[in-house]
A and B are shown apart, each in its own frame.
Chain A
Amino acid sequence: MADGRPANREPAEALSRYLRPEDARLLRAMTFSPRMMVDGALSGKHRSRLRGASMEFHEYRSYAPGDSPALVDWRVFARSDRLHLRTFRLETHLECHLFLDASASMDFRSEEDGLTKLDWASHFAAGLAYVVTLRQDRISLTIFDEGPRAFLPPGGTRGHFRRMLSMLDTNEAGGRTDLAGALEKSLPLLRRRGTVIVVSDFLADPAAVFQALAAYTHRGYRVFLFQVLTPAELNLPGSQTRRYVDPETGRRVTAHSDTVRTAYLEEIEAHQRALAALASRRGIGLVQARTDQSWLAQIRDLTR
């Protein structure tokens, strides 16, 4: 849904609420970016940074104690009486772990006919899953709020993709967000290293989030964060006194938007800057998107 219209208004032949056939056609031309290349346990279309068994020769090198004798090229040893190892470039499957925030705060839209953050994130997840599975790469899906609420183990088949779409279609916004807790609890579910993509509004303590993400980065996961916010959250539009209600905590604050806008934007900016600074420091990719922007463009940027 490149134009931002809700997926549930798509024609009946749509693949899902969140992936229309025309979007799928556009995605088909995209390839998952080398920047996102990760280690895969299974050989696949993507070259691994690890050397291993595969059909593609990489280089010869001298034997070193500890090397597997199976890798010794005995033919070279016969001619030169030297122990050389013949290494091949290991072809792996992309292992992508998608974390989707489905807390109550994600069920918020700026305009009456606009996308909620959860809609936008679901579109993004469906598109990404389509791109990943198109190349027989594997993708998992973890839907969380306070903790992991639903988990679809990694898979790369069409059936897996359909199951993922089904999960997204039936997903509803839940309760309060505990992003850090959810990430910590989800780590044991992942068997293989790969790319971790977290789609959330990240309206949480940045330090706690990145502390939870540190466990992933230490284990070799490459982490990308997709923060999605609505224009309303970013601009606090309007000019009247309102009683603002937090959808997760029920906390109420009465304020005139004109009165607090500047201070509010400063707070939001500070939060965003904190996220960006921590992400940069930890080598974590951070993309800050808005629901009025095209999720397709975000995937295009990702696969470029």
Chain B
Amino acid sequence: MALAFQDPGLLWLAAAAGAVPLVAHLVARTRPPEAILPTVEFLQRAMRGVWRLRRPQDWLMLLLRILALVILALGFARPLQLAGEGWGGGTDEKHLVLVVDRSASMAGQAGAQSRFSVATARALEALRGAGRLASVNLVWIDAVPDALHPDMGRTTEPLERALREAAVSGEAGSGAAALALAAERLATVSGTRELVVISDFQTGSWSEALPPLPEATRLVWIPVGETADNLSLAALESSSTQPLPGESIEVLARIVNHGNERRRARISMTLGAQRQTRELEIEGNGEGQVSAEFALDPDESGELPLRAALEGEGDALAGDDGRWIVVRQREPLAVALSLPEGSVSEEEREVWSRLLRSILWTREVAPGDPADLAIVAGPTDSFLPLAEAVWKKKGGVIFRPTAAAGLPTDWESGGAAGSWQKSGADEAGWSLKTGDEKDPLLALFASGEYGNPVAGSARDRWRIDPAEAGPGWAVPVRYVDDVPAIRRRAINGGSLWWWNLPLDPELASWTRQPAFLPLVGEALLLSRPDRADPPHWLAYAGGFARWEPEDYLESGEVVLLDEAGTNLAITEDGTSLGRSWISAAPLEPGLFRWALRDRELQQDRVLAHTVVPFPESEMDPGAIDPASLVAAAADGQSSSALAKPDWEKMRDGTPLWPWFVAIALALFALEALFLMLRRSSPQPARPIAS
């Protein structure tokens, strides 16, 4: 039992109080009233025999008085009983493992301080109040729990130091994994084992089944923090993280209300100099989403972080109020035109070229150059290598059927065949209609802002039996007689468009419609090859960031900076084929920037970004009742004396001053009783017979 005093300055009072009876005793012994007695010699002789007998009683009385006064005075110093011989009980030597949660949710508030601060403080108190320890260890609750000592440690100093220096990891927590690691450490020792788990018991960290524990293990659950309302920015997504020049992106932010009350959320999203703010009401335990559209400057290049943040106060957890994604404007799509002479008219070829030049995010390349898209016509042999190269890049090939070639049979599922049709010059041709309103190609036109995509007609087409269009084809646009005008299917990882619409203005009136350009543009957009986000854009809390530059780096030093501009340790990975760098320490949620530092100019040029999102499992501050864990552990364990310490008393201590006063009064009463006994039965005064 540890004893402390709230007013230690009053301890001098106890010392003074203890001296009072001693001084009084000495003074009383030297200053009694005087009396003449002729028989002093006899008295003196009597004293010699009596003194040895009486002295112990006198000292006992003196001791009682001193004790009573000292204890009474100590009561004024407001004594407290602090943590005792160990929270699990028992006074024998034991092996102790502290399992302390430092997952992201531990950054939440617990009163005036964070849950983690409370947890480490209580862990230190647990360590100091644990009594006699044979061995100790510390296991952190992380995504991947780790122990301070590979085996059990002998002294508590490293644990105390680690607890003092520790910080919240920002990772998701796995209580079960941490317990398993602690159990593994405890299994290496024999004797009394004690496992003290200090956590907020956040739902996400304790959802897994608890592992079995070694025999004779006392398990103590110590909850910290309380359930509080929390608004979380659960997700941030963009319609495209690599938009084409001029292409706007739509950003969606999903907000989750983890409280029971309806709350208003204010979200700001920032991309470069653009900032947009949205507000919404979210029901208790519900979620909502907001969107914002950003348009990148076509001249912008390189990566841009897009930040969304929840604004306002009264949130339990600040870490999940911000989120990032990285966007990068890609190069214009390289479109190769393979329209052999004779396959399409010169006018149509000119239309295609003009069209590619007029679209901001396309550029025409020669058929031999690498291309993202291809517009082909004519015999298959003439464009097959090009098409396969595009498909290899998961791009799209727009095949333009002509009188010379409708479609290679092996590309046509079901082996559909058809015939070339050409109407007269004075005829209106075949008008168009919507084949599938829900097709992505037509999504842009749903609002009507971009015109009617099926307005106009064509006088030159390849006719196939609509019933034999073949499975796997999507037909967004048809002719009025159901002959497919535009159809699309996936092939070899890419897409294949069967573009049965002439672009020669002489042959088709739809090219003069307002919707012409958007329709072709949409087709090209849908045909563009998907480009995966670079792996360095995303890392997970507790993990490591790795950056492998796509381009050759000029001279300079690669550095990794956090949001505050602090330089983080990195190491260069020489094992990979190219040069890459890895963060030396696990990362917490946030935005990190890879930069090339020019030491001479003292400038950092940011080249890449890494986003570490806040783990979604840690966003719900709701805690499970440790009692359910107690029950779960008890069911699965062969042992485990489970207890939950009274934290109020552990933290504040048990006031002992009433006990001190009571003990002092009891001692005074005991002294009075002694005095009464002595006075009520004095030595009888026997007269001497004369």
Is B46's CB under 8 angstroms from A263's CB?
yes
Is B690's CB under 8 angstroms from A233's CB?
no
Known: A108-B36, A246-B37, A260-B43; 17 extra A-B contacts, CB below 8 A, are A106-B38, A234-B687, A242-B33, A244-B34, A244-B43, A246-B40, A251-B44, A253-B47, A254-B30, A259-B683, A261-B684, A263-B45, A263-B46, A263-B47, A267-B43, A267-B45, A267-B46
What 1/0 flags go to B106-137 for Cβ under 8 Å of A?
00000000000000000000000000000000
Is A251's CB under 8 angstroms from B33's CB?
no
Which residue in chain A gives the minimum CB-CB distance to B38? A105
Is B28's CB under 8 angstroms from A241's CB?
yes
Q: Enumerate chain A interface residues (CB-CB to B < 8 A).
A: 104-106, 108, 201, 203, 229, 231-237, 239-249, 251-256, 258-269, 271-272, 287-290, 293
Expressed in whole angstroms, the minimum distance between the Cβ of B41 and any Cβ of chain A is 7
Known: A234-B687, A236-B685, A239-B682. A263 touches B50 (CB 8 A): yes
Contact of A243 among B35, B39, B46, B685 (CB under 8 A): B35
Q: For B686, list chain A residues within 8 Å (CB).
A: 235, 265
Expressed in whole angstroms, the minimum distance between the Cβ of B513 and any Cβ of chain A is 127
A261 to B40, CA, bound (A): 12
A234 to B42, CA, bound (A): 11
**Most A Cβ at <10 Å: residue of B39, B46, B54:** B39
Is B678's CB within 8 Å of the partner chain A?
yes
Expressed in whole angstroms, the minimum distance between the Cβ of B33 and any Cβ of chain A is 6
What 1/0 flags go to B400-431 for Cβ under 8 Å of A?
00000000000000000000000000000000
A285 to B683, CA, bound (A): 32
**Most A Cβ at <10 Å: residue of B34, B38, B40, B679:** B38
Sample (23) of A-B pairs whose CB atoms are under 8 Å apart = A106-B38, A233-B39, A235-B687, A239-B679, A240-B33, A244-B34, A245-B35, A247-B38, A252-B40, A255-B46, A258-B682, A259-B54, A260-B43, A260-B50, A263-B46, A263-B47, A265-B688, A267-B45, A267-B46, A268-B42, A287-B690, A289-B690, A293-B690
Is A271's CB under 8 angstroms from B38's CB?
no
Is A243's CB under 8 angstroms from B32's CB?
yes
A247 to B40, CA, bound (A): 9
Expressed in whole angstroms, the minimum distance between the Cβ of A21 and any Cβ of chain B is 29
Is A244's CB under 8 angstroms from B687's CB?
no
A248 to B40, CA, bound (A): 10
Q: For B41, list chain A residues within 8 Å (CB).
A: 203, 246, 251
Known: A255-B47, A263-B47, A263-B50. A244 touches B35 (CB 8 A): yes
Known: A203-B39, A260-B43, A261-B683. A234 touches B688 (CB 8 A): yes
Is B46's CB under 8 angstroms from A264's CB?
yes
Q: For A232, list chain B residues within 8 Å (CB).
A: 37
Q: For A272, list chain B residues within 8 Å (CB).
A: 688
Is B49's CB within 8 Å of the partner chain A?
yes
Expressed in whole angstroms, the minimum distance between the Cβ of B60 and any Cβ of chain A is 14
Is B438's CB within 8 Å of the partner chain A?
no
Q: For A251, list chain B residues within 8 Å (CB).
A: 40-41, 44
Expressed in whole angstroms, the minimum distance between the Cβ of B640 and any Cβ of chain A is 62
Instruction: Give the B interface residue count (CB, 8 A).
Output: 32
Is B683's CB under 8 angstroms from A253's CB?
no
Known: A234-B687, A246-B41, A260-B47. A254 touches B36 (CB 8 A): no
Is B40's CB under 8 angstroms from A266's CB?
no
The B666-690 residues at the A interface (CB cut-off 8 A) are 678-679, 682-688, 690
A253 to B34, CA, bound (A): 9
Is A261's CB under 8 angstroms from B685's CB?
yes
Known: A261-B682, A289-B690. A253 touches B40 (CB 8 A): yes
Contact of B688 among A105, A247, A255, A268 (CB under 8 A): A268
**Most A Cβ at <10 Å: residue of B44, B683, B684:** B683
A267 to B46, CA, bound (A): 7
Expressed in whole angstroms, the minimum distance between the Cβ of B676 and any Cβ of chain A is 12
Expressed in whole angstroms, the minimum distance between the Cβ of A240 and any Cβ of chain B is 8
Is B35's CB under 8 angstroms from A242's CB?
yes
Is B29's CB within 8 Å of the partner chain A?
yes
Contact of B33 among A236, A243, A253, A264 (CB under 8 A): A243
A287 to B682, CA, bound (A): 30
Expressed in whole angstroms, the minimum distance between the Cβ of A115 and any Cβ of chain B is 14
Expressed in whole angstroms, the minimum distance between the Cβ of B517 and any Cβ of chain A is 122
Contact of B37 among A245, A256, A266, A293 (CB under 8 A): A245
A249 to B30, CA, bound (A): 19
Going nearest first, the 7 A-B pairs with the smallest beta carbon separation are A263-B46, A105-B38, A246-B40, A261-B683, A264-B46, A235-B685, A267-B42
